Amino acid sequence: MQLPDLPITEVLPALLGALKSDGCAVLQAPPGAGKTTVVPLALLPTLETGKIIMLEPRRLAARAAAERLADTLGERIGQTVGYRIKGDTKIGPHTRIEVVTEGILTRMLQTDPMLDGVAAVIFDEFHERSLNADLGLALCWEARNAVRSDLIVLAMSATLDAQPLAEMLGAPIITSTGRAFPVETHWLDTPTSSTTRLEQATRDLVLRALNETQGGVLVFLPGEAEIRRLANLLGDLPASGHAVLPLYGALPFADQRRAIEPMTAARKIVLATSIAETSLTIQDIRVVVDCGLTRRSRFDPGKGMQSLVTERVSKAEAEQRKGRAGRVAHGWCYRLWTRGAEGALAEFAPPEIASGDLTDMALQLSIWGACEDDLAFVTPPSAGGLAAARELLRQLGALDENDHVTPHGKQIAQYPLHARLAHMLAHSGENGAGLAALLSERDPMRDAGADLMVRKRLLGRDGPATLRAEAKRLAKMAGPDKGLDWAEMAALAYPDRIGARRSGDAPRYLLSGGRGAQLDTQDALGSAEYIVATDLDGKGRDAKIRRAVQISESAIRGLYADRIDWHDTVHWSRRERKIVATRQERFGALVLTEKPLPDIPQDQVTNAVIEGIRALGLPRSKKADQLLHRANWLARADKSIPDLAEPALLASLEEWLAPFLVPAPRNADQITGFDITPALKMLLGPAAIQKLDTEVPTHITVPTGRKVAVDYSGDSPEIEIRLQELFGLDR
């Protein structure tokens, strides 16, 4: 077998030697060095038996890498080289190199921790630090240390701070310098105006690049929506000389292939997300236009919601993108930011394990029988994220109260779905396959309102082929139909996102998990009393509902009768400005039924009054104010006098005022008129009261015999008196 003459070949002897002696290594090689294409083929002859499993972060990259490897051998896919990705497998009886997406390795390890028949595992593009890659490496390393000391583990990366990973593995670092062609970098002279839309600014930069360069152009944008808008703006380019091609994850594979294959009839302009940063070789690209933004997934454990956030790229990502222009010849890179702004970029992108949804990781750790502290992670998983994940898994019945995996948890881990959707599929049977397929992918009807039922037609013969194929595949895994409708199935998957409409005109909902959410004011679903929100943006006080389905109260009761119970609640209502006492039938945070509570325990009334006083402020009367002013004036000189400043008094209401709240005031008017003077005197005590009467009297007697009140509210005591009344006063 003749290996391609690529830069990586220079370090192959050192790499293969390290793998033979140490059984593990970290390979650093820039884009275009050939690590994905050459290393598995070079490693294969050194193995007497067993397969090589190579992990790729994306389906398109996995399939493209497998095809490239097979083509190098002059074979068809499924012979020596095959692949396994979601919904598609091409493996033959003689396959020895399997290119797989990352989640597949985790399921392989859970099924067979010995990895019987596997000689080596290669983690390609490890710098992307996906959650599945970090988990897969941790489990793989645990298996190697416990039962498979002969297993070869290789992590390959283009841009990575390799030292922490190498230290964790105890592995040598092998570095290939590569032989990329030089790339000229151009920055903006001045920042783009805040009023200029991203797509317009990017279009201007693309037109400049087309005018100043030659060859194909690769434009990096944060997401599909920006790609579509820029494609529209570029629609006035001459069709005979230019081909504008999108490239993003949800695009059908045939369209993805068009973007990565060479084109001679026109100058290719590929509009891509970060999918094009690594792994893929996009033919005939000489120019990169980088908008400097990327979209990352962020999980908020407090809200229990995941959102996509648009952020600045890291320096490493910017270099990755730039490298795409120097693969075949001298290239150009145009950056939509100034040279000075580059210093503010982070060095590396944050790993997904620190900020992503850890539900599936928590389930896999429980099945593996380990906690996060038992395994080797380059970056420890977020403690808050794991706690939120385990709480959800307990709601789904996948973990017991001790966070041990249940039989149901083991069952749903077999499905290639998020735990929510796997739980739904297990309880709904094959009828849930279509909904599971729809919810596991990006929304194909973003402009159709939020109602999921509108999207049901996509599962018919005129719907996307990929969606129908995935639904069919999941239906084969599921059991017989359980007769549930879409609303009931959605509620099974999202027990914490069943929403009840709040009062008012705006379609705002309180979710059973305690968070707020809202529909667009014009959405047809906005009149529904109860909904299940299956897709939220996770932003703001009330998250925006992107997809939801209407559900009835009877359906909620039918599904969750064991979680609906009665609660007596006594609290201060800020809106009604009074104590409200009710008996509520609740599902989570949702109140299904409410009626007045007739007999209220005194301690609960007292607590509610104290809550009301803190909302309204201390009740103030002339007598109470006079006592407070006198005590606070004396406290300046006498430290034995208690602090009677309002913040201190409000903070300690339970200690000094609670015993005097019998009978308790029930509304704002009664609280405002309540006299706190007796409670203040009790707080001060007899000794302090005697001092006040002696040293800070309420009145003084003037020579005319009249008693005059003393005001202690200012910096010094004051009296109001006619001057003549002071004649004869000697002190």
pLDDT for the residue 34: 85
pLDDT for the residue 303: 64
Signed CA dihedral, 400, 406, 411, 414: sign only? positive
Distances (CA, A) of 64 to 22, 97, 272, 297, 580: 30, 14, 16, 25, 64
Question: Under the phi-then-psi rule, with left for phi > 0, alpha for psi from -120 to 50, and beta for the rest, what region is 102?
Answer: alpha
Please state, in angstroms and rounded to a whole number, the distance separating the CA atoms of residues 111 and 414.
9
Strand partners for 442: none
Q: How far is CA 332 from the centre of its chain?
A: 35
Please state, in angstroms and rounded to a whole number, the distance separating the CA atoms of residues 230 and 199.
5
Can you give the length of the chain in residues? Answer: 731
Q: Please, what is the average pLDDT of the chain? A: 90
Please state, in angstroms and rounded to a whole number, the distance separating the CA atoms of residues 548 and 533.
4
Q: Tell how strand 81-85 and strand 97-101 pair up.
A: parallel
Contacts for 603 with CB less than 8 Å, ≥ 6 apart = none
Q: Nearest-5° angle of CA 270, CA 272, CA 274?
A: 145
CA atoms within 13 A on the CB side of 478: 27
For residue 731, what is the enclosing H or E element? none
Residue indicated by tokens 């201007």: 204
Distances (CA, A) of 464 to 58, 194, 330, 442, 502: 20, 38, 40, 12, 36
Please state, in angstroms and rounded to a whole number, the distance separating the CA atoms of residues 399 and 247.
39
Grouping H, G, I as helix, E, B as strand and the rest as coil, residue 470 is helix
Distances (CA, A) of 521 to 450, 480, 512: 11, 39, 21
For residue 110, what is the enclosing H or E element? helix 102-111
According to DSSP, residue 101 is labeled E
According to DSSP, residue 98 is labeled E
Q: How far apart are the first and last CA of the chain?
A: 115
Signed CA dihedral, 385, 386, 391, 396: sign only? positive
Q: Tell how strand 305-312 and strand 267-272 pair up.
A: unpaired
Token pair of 133 as six digits: 């890659």
pTM over 0.85: no
pLDDT mean values, one per 10 residues, the chain (731 residues): 81 94 91 87 93 90 90 93 90 94 87 92 89 92 92 86 86 84 92 90 94 94 92 84 87 84 86 79 88 87 74 90 86 95 90 90 92 87 91 95 95 93 96 94 84 92 86 92 95 96 92 93 94 86 92 97 93 92 94 90 91 92 90 86 88 92 91 93 91 88 85 86 80 70
Three-class SS of 232-289? HHHHHCCCCCEEEEEECCCCCHHHHHHHHCCCCCCEEEEEECHHHCCCCCCCCEEEEE
Please state, in angstroms and rounded to a whole number, the distance separating the CA atoms of residues 319 and 349.
12
Angle between helices 131-146 and 359-368 (to 10 degrees): 10
Please state, in angstroms and rounded to a whole number, the distance separating the CA atoms of residues 375 and 137.
10
Please state, in angstroms and rounded to a whole number, the distance separating the CA atoms of residues 291 and 287.
13
Neighbour tally for 699: CB within 10 Å: 11
Q: How far is CA 321 from the centre of its chain?
A: 25
> Contact 231/270 with Cβ under 8 angstroms?
no
Contacts for 544 with CB less than 8 Å, ≥ 6 apart = 517, 518, 520, 536, 537
Contacts for 695 with CB less than 8 Å, ≥ 6 apart = 634
Please state, in angstroms and rounded to a whole number, the distance separating the CA atoms of residues 372 and 678.
57
For residue 36, what is the enclosing H or E element? helix 35-43
What string of DSSP letters covers 628-673?
Answer: HHHHHHHHTT-TTS----HHHHHHTHHHHTGGG-SSPP-BHHHHHT
Token pair of 124 as six digits: 């390609």
Token pair of 299 as six digits: 């999980």
pLDDT for the residue 282: 79
According to DSSP, residue 528 is labeled -
Please state, in angstroms and rounded to a whole number, the distance separating the CA atoms of residues 267 and 233.
17
According to DSSP, residue 9 is labeled G
Q: Tell how strand 508-511 and strand 331-338 pair up.
A: unpaired
Please state, in angstroms and rounded to a whole number, the distance separating the CA atoms of residues 488 and 480.
16
Instruction: Using alpha carbons, select from 426, 554, 441 the residue that is nearest to residue 492.
Output: 426
> Contact 579/573 with Cβ under 8 angstroms?
yes
Token pair of 595 as six digits: 């009626």
Please state, in angstroms and rounded to a whole number, the distance separating the CA atoms of residues 700 and 234.
89
Angle between helices 359-368 and 102-111 (to 10 degrees): 20
Please state, in angstroms and rounded to a whole number, the distance separating the CA atoms of residues 275 and 260.
11
Token pair of 99 as six digits: 């290119």
According to DSSP, residue 711 is labeled B
Please state, in angstroms and rounded to a whole number, the distance separating the CA atoms of residues 500 and 381.
34
Grouping H, G, I as helix, E, B as strand and the rest as coil, residue 94 is coil
> Contact 43/1 with Cβ under 8 angstroms?
no
3-state helix, strand, coil in the chain (%, to 5): 40, 20, 35
Neighbour tally for 470: CB within 10 Å: 21
CA atoms within 13 A on the CB side of 506: 10
Grouping H, G, I as helix, E, B as strand and the rest as coil, residue 594 is strand
Count Cβ atoms within 10 A of the Cβ of residue 134 and give its class: 0-12 exposed, 13-18 middle, 19 or more buried: buried
Measured in degrees and rounded to the nearest 5, phi and psi for residue 342 equal -65, -30
Token pair of 31 as six digits: 């884009």
